[in-house]
Amino acid sequence: MTLLTEPNTAAAGAFRGRRLRRTASLRALVRETRLHPSMLMQPLFVRPGTGVREPIASMPGQHRLSVDELAREADRLLQAGVTSVLLFGLPDTKDAEGSGAWADDGIVQRAIAELRRSCGEDLAIVADVCLCEYTLHGHCGVIRAASVDNDATLPLLARTAVSLASAGADVVAPSAMMDAQVAAIRAALDGDGLAQTAILAYAAKHASAFYGPFREAADSAPAFGDRRSYQMDPANGRQALGEIRADLDEGADMIMIKPALPALDLVAAARASTTVPIAAYQVSGEYAAIVAAAERGWLDRRAAALESLTAIARAGAGVVVTYFALQAAGWLREMDR
């Protein structure tokens, strides 16, 4: 590709790409993508109890935290320059409808209140809105006539969002992939005096094999069937852009694409065709794959993690949700010195 603004040196045989790669200082000078701790969002799992830091077997380095430990982790994140968290809950009990999701004294609601108390406005608190961690059957909506009923689920998601926002969440992030969930949540928030609560819509969420480790972490694997009647077919890109358009029309303030590396084309396409902030979620399986290979000595953990995060940012994500957030912030600080 020859741009009019550039001399056509290649044609003259004079192209020397290596000139600007010769030294570390030149490479730093012309680097197009820079990661910063403040663009990283750390997902955290909160569970009942006190003083609990329970390792997650499928995601080495990640833990299920009781509320008090969560607050300490948030403090560590802020110290490292990571200013946002995405919260998931493991409730005491589950039921058919997932009522733990909207309980005012629910596990995530209590976590949000504590983080708000301990971190004030320094921390952007984002709460996932879904039912799969709270339903006995593990699906993201309610079951009617043996299938996940879209419209019966909407009021429950709306109620959950209002409850999480009332507890103090800055942002609610609906991930259930029910049609019209963003509109239902926006209307409910506005109707409850929560017009300032933002919505980060998981707009393009593929039915991905890379969520496996998360479902162990959050105890949210479906008890029967799979999620392919609501999450998107990974083969579809145009349809993903349609989902993004629909969520923006319904009032989403930001959109999320998930998983990240398998969907970089969608990140780039979304960046080119919208003006809102775009988040990409480097999901549990993407994290676990790098960590497992590094444990075997097959990959350099730090280099592979930073390369993947940089690629996600290069594709156009301004917000990168990643289980490496805390660690990557430390690496970035070291590289600054």
Which segment (159-167, 178-186, 210-218, 329-337) binds ligand PBG by CB under 6 A?
A: 210-218
Q: Do the Cβ atoms of 294 and 300 come closer than 8 Å?
A: yes
- Least separation in angstroms between residue 200's CB and ligand PBG is 12
Binding positions for ligand PBG, 312-331, rule CB under 6 A: none
Beta strand residue intervals within the chain, DSSP E: 40-46, 53-55, 63-65, 84-89, 124-129, 143-144, 147-148, 171-174, 198-205, 254-258, 278-282, 319-322
Identify whether 94 is a catalytic site residue.
Answer: no
Among 214, 230, 324, 331, binds ligand PBG (CB under 6 A): 214
Among 211, 230, 324, 331, binds ligand PBG (CB under 6 A): 211
The radius of gyration of the chain's CA atoms, rounded to the nearest angstrom, is 21
Q: CB neighbours of 112 closer than 8 A, spacing ≥ 6?
A: 87, 125, 127, 164, 167, 168, 169
Binding positions for ligand PBG, 155-194, rule CB under 6 A: 175
Among 99, 135, 284, 327, binds ligand PBG (CB under 6 A): 284
Among 47, 186, 206, 215, binds ligand PBG (CB under 6 A): 215
| Spatial separation of the C-alpha atoms in residues 65 and 89, rounded to whole Å | 10
Name the active-site residue from 110, 139, 205, 215.
205
- Least separation in angstroms between residue 282's CB and ligand PBG is 8
Tell me the three-class secondary structure of 32-62, residue by residue: CCCCCHHHEEEEEEECCCCCCEEECCCCCCC
Smaller CB separation from ligand PBG, 68 or 289: 289
For 18, phi then psi, to 5°, come to -75, -15
197 near ligand PBG, judged by CB under 6 A:
no
Sign of CA dihedral 298, 63, 100, 185: negative
Name the active-site residue from 63, 159, 186, 258.
258
Among 69, 97, 128, 170, binds ligand PBG (CB under 6 A): 128
Identify whether 258 is a catalytic site residue.
Answer: yes
Among 87, 132, 232, 320, binds ligand PBG (CB under 6 A): 132
* Binding residues for ligand PBG (CB under 6 A): 128, 130, 132, 140, 175, 211, 214-215, 220, 227, 283-284
